[in-house]
Each structure stands twice: as structure tokens, then as C-alpha cells.
Amino acid sequence: PPIWKSYLYQLQQEAPRPKRITCPQEVSTSENIYTKDYCTGFYGMISREYADELLAGVEGSYLIRESQRQPGTHTLALRFGPQTLNYRLFYDGKHFVGEKRFESVHDLVTDALITLYIETKAAEYIAKMTTNPIYEHLGYTSLLKDKMVHRLSRGRTEPRRVTFQRDERVSSITSPLVRRSALKDTPEKQCSYEKIHNFKVHTFRGPHWCEYCANFMWGLIAQGVRCSDCGLNVHKQCSKLVPSDCQPDLRRIKKVFSCDLTTLVKAHNTTRPMVVDMCIQEIELRGMKSEGLYRVSGFSEHIEEVRLAFDRDGEKADISANAYADINIIAGALKLYLRDLPIPVITFDLYSKFIQAAKIPNAESRLEGIHENLLQLPPAHYETLRYLMAHLKRVTQFEKDNLMNAENLGIIFGPTLMQPTELNALTTLNDMRQQKLVVQLMIENEDVLF
């Protein structure tokens, strides 16, 4: 069994404690945060040399002085080991000399002394602590493996590389293609999508150990990072080495709409977001002949109700005809979900590649360009797009009733599925034709491209 390593914890316990050196007389200077709240530790404008004399021989002692080089600014003088360290001190409601912000100077000095002591005493140990991780044996990974054992593996649709040749219409492929049914009912099983951890700096209350290297996370605040999706706790330097094996915890996923697509499918253990599946199934059940499907808008208040229902109830949300008779409300909710994704279905980093592919004059080369880009999509994005395009292809088969062809749907879904990184009105306007063409071609050639 893994053993939590106590060496760094012991060093933190040994670290010098802060000792404020009080000023024996009142300092005559303009009022600031230090004269007001820390008057006994503020010495006004004194030299580095004098500060060094005041702090000499007292490990962990500190004072605040006004800088002689830059009047009006403040310096924290701190005694550590045989020398006095000087830091430019800032205040914006909290005190800081670097990234960490503290409620008091005393806390700042406490954290600084811990960090200085540990990084001085254990520099070589810290440099090597990631070389022999026991991540595979720790709680998070063991729990993840247990979940995998109890789930059936699901073979997702793998992107297929094809070669396009000139044909009477637009394209054909050299290898035989077996048409897949996008909406075929299959048991929902565990999917193998990789997902990177969503690490954010975190302050741990009480002693905590890194779940990658098993070493203590030292300091007073911001000792490490925590994955906001699964709760994994690691050192900041260890976070760069953790595998992309995040398994989001449903308890941490606060909503469905505006949630990262891969995060949502991993949390719910599905191939695609349940919003996409449920809305498309409802539309195909009772809305394929609805005139202006996806073009006609439903009432925005009712679409908002559907969004709230998914965020609150997840896959138990009621979007049946009994709840929403107007199918345009369900279609509107699907478009809203896709539009509100923090990373669009066609990701930001591939946006320009799809736009450039749409500008290729030769029809076969254009399709090859789009196909190459599709292969670069993250698995959850690829599967969602494949499923959606198969659905939209079926929508066009009812064009006589719903008056919606591939070009019309391309106009609607182009800006919904793909957006530039920076929302520039001029760029969006210039790219509208290519956005429409990309979606139109994916619908028309869905059985070849996916």
C-alpha cells in the first residue's frame, strides 16, 4: 500500500517562525496601510544597511520600510539564514510579493519562511520527487480502475481515413464503405475518451499530500492544485505529469449547458451529450415534417425552461410533447446547447483549417481537406458531429414537407458549430459563406466523411 511521505511535513514544522521587529518610536510619514495597521512594524524610509542591522541575528525577523530608491513604495525586509532578503511589497486589498495574496503581512512572512526553509533544505529532494510517482497505486487511480472493471467497454465510432476520387457527382472512396446508422439503439457503455484534468490553484485546510508523488504539500495557502472536475489534489509541478485520465465526478458538474463537451460525456459515461441524443430523438419522433424545422424559432421563455430542466434533472428532463407541444422549442434548445459550448463542436484550433478547406476550388480536394480536419477533432466532438450530421441528412430527406435542404441547414448550423477564437464581427461576416459550406458538405457527404 502507498505510504504518505512525511519528510517535507517535518521540515515545515521545523521552519522558522515570523518575528516582527517593532519600531520604538512613531514614524512621521504620510498615512498608508502599513502606518495604519502595522505601525509598530513600519520603520519609514530607512536604508537596507540599517534594516540589516535591526534584523541581524534573529531568524525569521521582519520589518516594513519605505524604499529609498523608489519613494512611496514599500519593502519587506526578512531575515533568513545569514542574510536579509528584501521584497517589493504590494497591497490591493491583500498583501503580496508574488502570485500568492494574504490577509496579513504576518501570514505572508509565515508562508515565505516555510517555502524558503523547505526549498533550501530539500532542493535536491524536491527536484527528484516526481521521478518515482506512486500515482497508479493511489486512491483516485485505484477507484478509476475499479469503475473501469465494472463497466463494459464501448467501441466508439473510429474516424475513418478515406481517399476521394473524381466521380459524376462529387466523390467516392477506394475502399468499400458500410453505411452506419447514427441513431442505432445500443446499450450505453463506458467510453474511452481521454480528458485532461482541469487543475486550479487551491488552498488546503489542514495537512494534505500530493496524490501523484505522495509528498506533503507545503505552505500556508495555495499549496497545490485541485482538479475542479474530479477532485484530484497534486503539487503544481506534479500536475504537468499527471496522465489525461480525468474521470469527472457528477457531484462536481453543476450544470449541463455551457459545460465542456468532453467533461460532460465523461461524467455521465456516455458517447455523446445526453442533450444531443434526447433532443434529436424527440425531433425524429414527431418533428421531421415540421415546416421550417431549425429555422423557425420557438418561444425563448420555453427554450430557457428546457435548458433549466436539463441543468436540474439531466437525462430525466421531460421534453416530451406533453411538456412542449411545439417541436421548435426542442430544436431551439438543441441549437442553444451547441452554441453555448465553451469550446465549439468544431474546436477553436481547427476553425481556420476548416475555413481554408472550404475555400479550395476543387471539389474532391475540398472534401479531402474537410475530412483531414475531422480526423483531428477530439473524440467526443467527432462523435457528436457525426451523430448530428446523420440526423440533419435525414432532415433533408423530408425537404418536401419541412422545406429544409442541406444549404438552409448549413446557414443555420454554420455559426452554431464553428466560431473563431476571438468574436470579431468582420471575421464572422467574411467567414459566413465558408461556415455554411462546411456544414452543407458534411450533411451531403455524411456517409463518406464520417
Which pLDDT tens digit goes with each residue over 266-286?
888 889 999 999 999 999 999
Interatomic CA distance for residues 96 and 104, integer angstroms: 9
Q: What is the mean pLDDT of residues 61-81?
A: 89
Interatomic CA distance for residues 201 and 226, integer angstroms: 6
222 half-sphere exposure, CB direction, 13 A CA radius: 15
SS3 224: strand
Q: What is the mean pLDDT of residues 38-49?
A: 73
What is the pLDDT, as a whole number, of residue 394? 97
Q: What is the mean pLDDT of residues 168-174?
A: 39
371 half-sphere exposure, CB direction, 13 A CA radius: 21
C-alpha cell at 59: 531568524
Q: What integer best gives the mean pLDDT of the chain?
A: 84
Residue 113 CA: distances (Å) to CA of 18, 52, 79, 105, 235: 8, 17, 9, 12, 19
Interatomic CA distance for residues 36 and 42, integer angstroms: 10
Q: What is the mean pLDDT of residues 248-255?
A: 80
pLDDT band for position 105 (50/70/90)?
very high
Model confidence at 177: pLDDT above 50: no
pLDDT band for position 157 (50/70/90)?
low
Which carries the bigger pLDDT value, residue 25 or residue 418?
418
Which carries the bigger pLDDT value, residue 290 or residue 156?
290
Domain layout of the chain by residue ranges: 6-128, 199-251, 267-340, 348-445
| Count of other CB atoms within 10 angstroms of residue 307 | 21
Interatomic CA distance for residues 65 and 362, integer angstroms: 71
Pick the CATH number of 267-340 from 1.10.555.10, 1.10.150.570, 3.40.80.10, 3.50.50.60: 1.10.555.10
> Which residue type is seen at 257?
F
Top CATH class of 6-128 equals alpha beta
Mind listing the pLDDT tens digit for each residue in 345-360?
Answer: 999 999 999 999 999 9
**CB contact set of 27 (below 8 Å; sequence gap of 6+):** 35, 39, 42, 43, 44
199-251: CATH topology is: Wheat Germ Agglutinin (Isolectin 2); domain 1 (3.30.60)
Model confidence at 295: pLDDT above 50: yes
What is the pLDDT, as a whole number, of residue 159? 64
C-alpha cell at 137: 497505486
Model confidence at 336: pLDDT above 60: yes
Which carries the bigger pLDDT value, residue 294 or residue 250?
294
Which carries the bigger pLDDT value, residue 111 or residue 3?
111
Cα torsion angle, 165, 168, 171, 172, sign: negative
Residue 95: which of 41, 158, 159 has the closest Cα?
Answer: 41
Interatomic CA distance for residues 45 and 181, integer angstroms: 78
What is the pLDDT, as a whole number, of residue 162? 60
| CATH numeric code, 348-445 | 1.10.555.10
In which residue are the cell numbers 521521478 written?
A: 131
pLDDT band for position 145 (50/70/90)?
very low
Residues of the chain above pLDDT 90, percent: 62
What is the pLDDT, as a whole number, of residue 299? 94
Mind listing the pLDDT tens digit for each residue in 213-247?
Answer: 989 999 999 999 999 888 899 999 999 999 888 88
Residues of the chain above pLDDT 70, percent: 82
Please indicate whether the domains covering 6-128 and 267-340 agree at the CATH topology level.
no
Model confidence at 379: pLDDT above 80: yes
Model confidence at 146: pLDDT above 60: no
